Structure 1
Amino acid sequence: MAGAAASYKRILQLLEKWPIEEGKVGRDLGEFLRTKITKAYKENKFEANQKYWDSQYISLQRLVNNDYSNKYPRILTSSATGLTAEQCQIALSNEFLKELQEEDQPFYKKIFSLKSKDK
């Protein structure tokens, strides 16, 4: 059990470097990963497959450290929708999604109206 506990602790320490996005409470990837990993530890899944969790740690480390973002920097500042990263972050926030539901407006219309406001 000591090896499992050490692996679990090591993964959680790594995930502490990945901040939870306040605008995505309940839908945040970091929050989801913490929950899944804690559940797996409580179900003793760490003990059964140590190699799997070691590889998961390495993969998470790449994500947390933005390895691929640094290795392959983006040339353009917009996405396929034409929105910038900041605009995409706003469009994916819980607050924005709630506003969309309240207005009963199609998602794509709201995104493109947001884009035109920033010009």
Structure 2
Amino acid sequence: MSAARYRRFLKLCEEWPRDESKKGRDLGTFLRQRVTHAFREGENTQLSDPEKCDQIYESLARINTNVYRERFPRTRDTSFTGVTVEECRMLLATGNMQQMDEEKEGLWKTLTERFSTKQDVTPEKAPENK
């Protein structure tokens, strides 16, 4: 029975889309890694909890076939901020995320330099009273 579960997960992995704009953060890639990890021995893998495995498969299959998207259609294709789907995809692309991280780092560096005490400057000695 484990062989059938393994084949179902492989078929699901083939159907699950990959988002090339999110390298290393893509849900399809993550799913493939988890299936590989869970079924280390391929069709010969012995599962400790087959019922839970079936539940996970059914949940992922419902997401992949857009069951909930069709059951609960959206009235608009924007979020509460008014950002469209395409704008969200552009903002969440790996290249943009790296650029934003670099900008954050630059801002943080600027702030720490501005507000840090200068440790390399030593205070002048006060003249001694004789």
Tell me if TM exceeds 0.5.
yes
Q: Give CA-to-partner distance per residue, 1:35-80, whole Å, 9 cap, x none.
A: 0121011178752211111111111110100110111111012112
Aligned equivalents of 1:64, 1:35: Cα separation in 2: 17
More helix by share: 1
- Residue 90 of structure 1 aligns with which residue? 90
Q: How many residues align structurally?
A: 104
- Residue 117 of structure 2 aligns with which residue? none
- Residue 74 of structure 1 aligns with which residue? 74
- Residue 113 of structure 1 aligns with which residue? none
Say what the alpha-carbon RMSD is for the aligned residues.
2.1
SS of alignment partner, residue 74 of structure 1:
coil
1:9 to 7, 12, 32: 7
With structure 1 as the length reference, what TM-score do the two structures score?
0.76
Aligned equivalents of 1:74, 1:6: Cα separation in 2: 36
1:7–1:46: 8 Å Cα contact kept in structure 2? no
Gaps (5+ residues) in structure 1? 107-119
1:8–1:46: 8 Å Cα contact kept in structure 2? no
With structure 2 as the length reference, what TM-score do the two structures score?
0.71
- Residue 36 of structure 1 aligns with which residue? 34
Aligned equivalents of 1:45, 1:55: Cα separation in 2: 18
Q: Give CA-to-partner distance per residue, 1:74-97, whole Å, 9 cap, x none.
A: 101211222111111111110111
Question: Match of 2:39, as an amino acid?
Answer: Y
Aligned equivalents of 2:98, 2:24: Cα separation in 1: 13
Aligned equivalents of 1:77, 1:66: Cα separation in 2: 15
- Residue 20 of structure 1 aligns with which residue? 18
1:99 Cα deviation (Å)? 2.2
